[in-house]
Structure 1
Amino acid sequence: MKRGLLSTLSLAMTVALLAGMSGADAQTVKSSDIATQNAVADYNAGNMGAARSEFLHAAQKGSRLAEFNYAMMLVNGEGGPVDVDEGKKWLRKAADANMTQAQYVYGKMFDDGDFVARDPAEAHRWFLRAASQGHVLAELALANQFLDGRGTPRDNAQAFVWYKKAAEGGDMTAQYVAGSFYERGGDGVVKNLNVARAYYAAAAAQGDPAAKLKYQQLSAELQREKPQ
């Protein structure tokens, strides 16, 4: 049984995942959703059994965030035994309720073949739903699919559209790739070394050493091209 994907994703209310969710998902917990808030607090405190029970209670009342988090706990075996089939059921429920994080994770399962038969076309459908609502990681995943021709016909122009969106959303990988598109031009992109350099700089600022080197190289090239 493969657990690499979902065990790294964990719960949607962790700081790391809040950065990857759309604004709509970040607002999923309402002040009246006490059960979900309690579950999040217990999870963060390490009280896994209580968190799992509280997420289930909130999920049964229709909380999309609780549906997703309960699914993750089931799949990862946190707070109780692993139950992949039940976890997939709750994950699909959250995805169908238009929670973009759930849509992305559900798509990733099909893209990677985690717990389901690998189906890049099905993955593409879920990535597109999440990306269309501004989910940055889904935008990146969609761009990769268009670039590779995986789950959809290869389309470099569409790949660039989604890389640029993800780059503007702050994704370091997408910033580097967007820079490379502007550096070489083509596929509907007008070559522009200054714009390329800006994207490389953004990725470099997040710790990408290759982007830092690219930024330095383009800076030197632009300096040489300046009229003397």
Structure 2
Amino acid sequence: MNGRMQGVLRCLAVAAALLATGATNLASAQDRVAKSNDPQTQTAVADYNAGNLGAALNEFHQAAERGSRLAQFNYAMMLLNGEGTAVNVDEGKKWLRKAADANMSHAQYVYGKMYDDGEFVERDPAEAHRWFLKAAQQGHVQAELALANQFLDGRGTERDNKQAFVWYKKAAQGGDMTAQYVTGSFYERGGDGVDRNLNVARAYYAAAAAQGDPAARLKYQQLSAQLRDQKEVKPQ
């Protein structure tokens, strides 16, 4: 497992735990991991956050066995990362799949990402597409972006710029900075079923710029100047 994927999985485990306790200030809202009403899962979350990884692992396992999707997900992440135990890829994948099959959108996204990146499994963009679609249909923003990228690249599915735009726009409306920039570029150039609209494009660039995207800030400034010049040009 390379460092990039390990970092992603660890952050997701923490995000899920934080969301379970309602402490969303350090987790992205797009994770969309439901709160858990299971007392043992809540205890496991508390132990995980306190660094009591061995206890958290056992508690997540017990709650996972009883069907808690959040416990299944977090238990899988701990196994895949080797937190509180030795790395156990087979068991980790098994429990992640259980959470995904239980319709947990974040687990579906992570499971799809494993196939998209070829981490722990043979790379299979079509299988990744299937799981990204399941999560995206539930409004999972990261999955919407991943799905849009696949449609744009023709990876795991036929290339379809119109579908790419649909999912980029959904992710943009969900607050994803990259999707906001790309959606702005669709409106700036037009085509692929999108009517060219520089005002709308500028609005999406502004949203991405407000999140710190320097390229979006430059685009916003350029379009602002272009629209201002057009307004100043009077018909003869």
* Common fold by TM > 0.5: yes
Structure-2 residue corresponding to 1:82? 87
Query: Secondary structure at the residue paired with 1:226?
Result: helix
Dislocated runs of 4+, deviation >6 Å: none
Give yes or no for the alignment of 1:7 onto 2:12: no
Q: Name the CA distance, whole Å, in 1 between partners of 2:6 and 2:101.
A: 19
Q: 1:211 is matched by which residue type in structure 2?
A: A
- What is the total number of aligned residue pairs between the two structures? 223
Instruction: Find the partner of 1:58 among 60, 63, 68.
Output: 63
Residues 1:204 and 2:199 are matched in the alignment: no
Letter in structure 1 aligned against 2:65: Q
Q: Which residue of 2 aligns with 1:170?
A: 175
User: Which residue pairs with 2:125 in the alignment?
Assistant: 120
**Aligned AA (1:39):** A
SS of aligned partner of 1:151 = coil
User: How far, CA to CA, are the matches of 2:27 and 2:223 in structure 1?
Assistant: 33
Matched position secondary structure for 2:219: helix
In structure 2, C-alpha distance between the alignment counterparts of 1:37 and 1:222, rounded to whole Å: 53
Picking from 16, 21, 34, the partner of 1:26 is 34
Supply the distance in 1 between the matched residues of 2:47 and 2:205 (Cα, whole angstroms): 40
The alignment's TM-score, normalised by the length of structure 2, stands at: 0.91
Report the equivalent of 1:155.
160
Q: For 1:92 and 1:107, how far apart are their aligned partners in 2? A: 10
Structure-1 separation of matches of 2:167 and 2:27? 20
Aligned residue identity for 1:174: A
Judged with a 3 Å threshold, the aligned counterparts in structure 2 of structure 1 residues 53 and 18 are, in CA distance, closer, same or farther, namely farther
Contact 1:6-1:72 within 8 A present in 2 as well: no
C-alpha deviation, 1:17, in angstroms:
4.4
Deviation sequence 1:43-66 (CA, Å, 0-9, x none) = 111111111111111101100000
Aligned-residue offset at 1:123: 0.2
Instruction: Find the counterpart in structure 2 of residue 69 from structure 1.
Output: 74
Residue matched to 1:100: 105
Distance apart, 1:20 and its partner CA: 2.1
Letter in 1 for 2:17: M
Tell me the residue number matched to 2:134.
Answer: 129
Q: 2:190 aligns with which of 179, 185, 188?
A: 185
Give the number of the structure with larger relative contact order, counting CA–CA contacts within 8 Å between residues 6 or more apart: 1
Structure 2 runs not aligned, ≥5 long: 19-23
String of CA shifts for 1:19-69, please: whole Å, max 9, x gaps: 2223xx324x12xx1111111111111111111111111101100000000
RMSD: 1.2
